[in-house]
């Protein structure tokens, strides 16, 4: 009994396996890849088809309008209509920088010549000009401008008062300056008469005395007195000459010739 049941079960299993093998045999075999099989073509990209000519872009035709005088004007594709330019505001073509403007005064630039480029024969010597012909070397003193020619008796009295007032100052300064000059001359003569120094000590003493002599010659107070004396001497001479000219003119007008 037991063997019968086992045989029946094994037979059922065998039938199911045979049925499964039959179904697998009826299926078509899957395609195998090979070098001869064609590849699947990639779908073309979206857009215009290959080989088709590009579509022309639409163009905007210019609008033709008539101006105020009836002339046709082309309206550009801009924000507004073109504005006619009057004849007086038309600008000419730009001029080059090297071309002068019409009507402008053109001056020729000066040529710069250096001293080493001038030939030796054409150089002008500055020292050849005499000092008498060089202007500005002799300035006019202030008293010649302040005291012109005497024209009246009042001017004569005023000139005479100035002369008497400064004549005493001139005499005092002249005496002091002459005394200082005499002392300097004596000291200079003494220094020149000294024998040559025989020792280093005598040489130092002589050099110190010479320095003192030069210091006295360049003393500021002595130089101021000397300059003031020279100024007063010229001023008094000028006043005296102006007074004498006035007196001579008065004498010639008052004299009677027979």
In a domain, 248, yes or no: yes
The pLDDT value recorded for residue 178 is 93
Extract the tokens encoding 65: 């309008």
Query: How are beta strands 63-66 and 72-75 bridged, if at all?
Result: antiparallel
Contact 173, 185 (CB under 8 A): no
The answer to whether residue 182 sits within a structural domain is yes
How far apart (Å, rounded) are the C-alpha atoms in residues 170 and 177?
A: 10
Asked if the structure places residue 186 within a domain, the reply is yes
CA distance 118 to 114: 7
- Look at residue 165 and tell me if it is in a domain: yes
Return the structure tokens found at 20.
């499964």
State the total domains in the chain: 1
Is this model's pTM higher than 0.85 or not?
Answer: no
pLDDT in tens, the chain (258 residues): 444 445 455 555 656 665 665 565 566 655 555 454 455 556 555 555 555 565 666 565 555 555 555 555 555 555 555 565 555 455 555 555 555 555 555 666 666 555 555 555 554 444 444 444 555 556 888 999 999 999 999 999 999 999 999 999 999 999 999 999 998 888 888 888 888 888 888 888 888 888 888 888 888 998 999 999 999 999 999 999 999 999 998 777 655 444
Domain that holds residue 181: 142-254
Listed residue (153, 182, 163) closest to 238, CA to CA: 163
Q: How far apart are CA 66 and CA 241, in angstroms?
A: 99
Residues 6 or more apart whose CB falls under 8 angstroms from that of 54 comprise: 48
**What pLDDT is attached to residue 211?**
86
The answer to whether residue 74 sits within a structural domain is no
pLDDT value for 127: 46
Q: Which residue matches tokens 């007086």?
A: 88
Distance CA 207, CA 219 (A): 18
| E strand segments, 40-182 | 63-66, 72-75
| CA pair distance 107, 111, nearest whole angstrom | 12
Residue 31 lies in a domain: no
In a domain, 188, yes or no: yes
CA distance 186 to 179: 11
pLDDT at residue 126, as a whole number: 43
At 67-105, the pLDDT tens digits run 555 555 555 555 555 565 555 455 555 555 555 555 555
Please report whether residue 37 resides in a domain: no
């Amino acid at each position: 009994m037991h063997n019968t049941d086992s045989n029946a079960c094994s037979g059922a299993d065998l039938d199911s396996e045979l049925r499964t093998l039959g179904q697998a045999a009826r299926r078509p075999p899957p395609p195998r890849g090979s070098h001869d099989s064609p590849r699947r073509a990639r779908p073309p990209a979206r857009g215009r088809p290959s080989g088709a000519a590009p579509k022309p872009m639409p163009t905007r035709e210019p609008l033709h309008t008539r101006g105020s005088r009836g002339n046709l004007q082309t309206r550009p594709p801009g924000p507004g209509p073109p504005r006619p330019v009057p004849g007086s505001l038309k600008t000419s073509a730009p001029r080059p920088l090297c071309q002068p403007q019409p009507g402008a005064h053109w001056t020729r630039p000066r040529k710069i010549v250096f001293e080493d480029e001038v030939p030796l024969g054409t150089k002008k010597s500055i020292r050849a000009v005499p000092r008498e012909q060089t202007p500005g070397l002799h300035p006019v003193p202030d008293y010649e401008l302040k005291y012109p020619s005497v024209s009246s008796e009042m001017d004569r009295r005023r000139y005479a008062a100035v002369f008497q007032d400064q004549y005493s100052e001139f005499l005092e300064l002249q005496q002091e300056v002459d005394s200082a000059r005499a002392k300097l001359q004596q000291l200079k003569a003494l220094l020149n008469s000294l024998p040559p120094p025989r020792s280093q000590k005598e040489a130092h003493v002589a050099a110190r005395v010479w320095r003192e002599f030069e210091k006295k010659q360049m003393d500021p107070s002595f130089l101021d007195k000397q300059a003031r004396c020279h100024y007063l001497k010229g001023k008094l001479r000028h006043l005296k000459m102006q007074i004498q000219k006035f007196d001579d003119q008065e004498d010639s007008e008052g004299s009677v010739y027979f």
